Amino acid sequence: VVFLAALLYLVWKGPVKRSKATFVLVSVLLIPYLINVIRFTAKGNYARLYERNVELETLVAFFEYETDVNGLVTMAKSPKLPRNIKNNYSGKIVGILVIGESATRNHWGLYGYYRNTTPEMDRIRNDILVFDDVVSAFATTYASCRMMFSSAEYPSQRPLDYTVFPLLKAAGYKVFLISNQFRLGSFDGPVNILYSGLDRKEFMQEAFPGAKDGIMLDRLPKYIEETDGPVLIIVHLIGSHGSYDERYPAEFNKFGDEKDPGKKEFSEWNRRQINDYDNSILYTDHILVRIIEMLRKLPVPGYMLYLSDHGESPEISGSRTFFTTYLTCYEIPMIFYGNERYKQCFPDLMKAASENREKPYITDWMNYSIVSIAQVTHAGFQAEKDIFSAKYKGRENRDVGGKHIPYRHPRVKKPFYVDKHGKVKHLEKPNGN
Chain mean pLDDT for the chain? 82
**What is the structure's pLDDT at 122?**
97
Distant-in-sequence, close-in-space partners of 246: CB < 8 Å, separation ≥ 6: 210
CA 42 – CA 46 distance, rounded (Å): 9
Distant-in-sequence, close-in-space partners of 32: CB < 8 Å, separation ≥ 6: 55
Per DSSP bridges, beta strands 331-338 and 86-87 are: unpaired
Whether the model clears a pTM of 0.85, i.e. scores above it, the answer is no
Specify burial of residue 411 (Cβ count, 10 A radius: 0-12, 13-18, 19+). exposed
Assess contact for 356 and 130: CB atoms under 8 A.
no
Regarding predicted confidence, which is higher, 62 or 110?
110
The total of other beta-carbon atoms located within 10 Å of residue 293's CB is 12
Domains in the chain: ranges and CATH: 2-77 (no CATH), 86-426 (3.40.720.10)
CA 290 – CA 277 distance, rounded (Å): 20
- Residues of the chain with pLDDT > 90: what percent? 52
Assess contact for 171 and 207: CB atoms under 8 A.
no
Task: Give the SS3 label for residue 133.
Answer: strand
pLDDT tens digit sequence for 108-142: 999 999 999 999 999 999 999 999 999 998 888 88
**What is the structure's pLDDT at 22?**
59
CA angle 146, 109, 107 (to 5 degrees): 50
Instruction: State residue 104 phi and psi, 5-degree precision.
Output: -95, 140
Instruction: State residue 80 phi and psi, 5-degree precision.
Output: -95, 85
Assess contact for 384 and 393: CB atoms under 8 A.
yes
pLDDT tens digit sequence for 227-270: 999 999 999 999 999 889 999 999 999 998 666 676 677 888 88
pLDDT tens digit sequence for 381-414: 999 999 999 999 998 767 776 555 556 666 666 7
- The helix (run of H) or strand (run of E) holding residue 116 is none
Instruction: State residue 246 phi and psi, 5-degree precision.
Output: -95, 5
**What is the structure's pLDDT at 207?**
86
Sign of CA dihedral 60, 65, 66, 72: positive
Instruction: State residue 304 phi and psi, 5-degree precision.
Output: -130, 130
Instruction: Answer whether residue 185 shows pLDDT above 60.
Output: no
Instruction: Answer whether residue 151 shows pLDDT above 60.
Output: yes
CA 300 – CA 339 distance, rounded (Å): 9
**What is the structure's pLDDT at 304?**
99
Q: Which of 378, 432, 111 is nearest to 260 (CA)?
A: 432
- Residues of the chain with pLDDT > 70: what percent? 73
Instruction: Answer whether residue 285 shows pLDDT above 80.
Output: yes
Distances (CA, A) of 235 to 96, 288, 292, 293: 7, 10, 13, 15
Q: Which of 150, 149, 141, 221 is nearest to 181 (CA)?
A: 141
Q: Where are the beta strands (DSSP E) in 266-415?
A: 302-308, 331-338, 361-362, 376-377, 398-400, 405-407
Predicted confidence band of residue 318 (pLDDT cuts 50, 70, 90): very low
Instruction: Answer whether residue 322 shows pLDDT above 50.
Output: no
Regarding predicted confidence, which is higher, 81 or 27?
81
Task: Give the SS3 label for residue 362.
Answer: strand
